[in-house]
Structure 1
Amino acid sequence: MEEVMDKAVKAVREASRREFEEYIKHPENENKKTRALLRELFGGN
């Protein structure tokens, strides 16, 4: 039974880590899109 619980905890931790990594990437991706749009609108470098 303990082995099953350990596997469940490990699976939940892994899923949580992946979700956190996606959460961290999201603002970064949005910032890139925003900067690209501003460059397009205002002719920046």
Structure 2
Amino acid sequence: VRTHCPVVEFGLVGHRMHAVDERVRVDQIGRLKSVYTRILSDFFA
């Protein structure tokens, strides 16, 4: 995709990302879901 248009990486960060024992706090997932929902709602509005 990046060869055809600008790309932005967005998501949770931390020292456990992409590790065998990858994990995040549940409240972080809820906040991230809210952001993704807003982005998609605005995009398809």
Q: Higher helix fraction: Structure 1 or Structure 2?
A: 1
The alignment's TM-score, normalised by the length of structure 1, stands at 0.45
Rg comparison, structure with higher value: 1
The alignment's TM-score, normalised by the length of structure 2, stands at 0.45
Whose relative contact order is higher, 1 or 2, with alpha carbons under 8 Å and at least 6 apart?
2
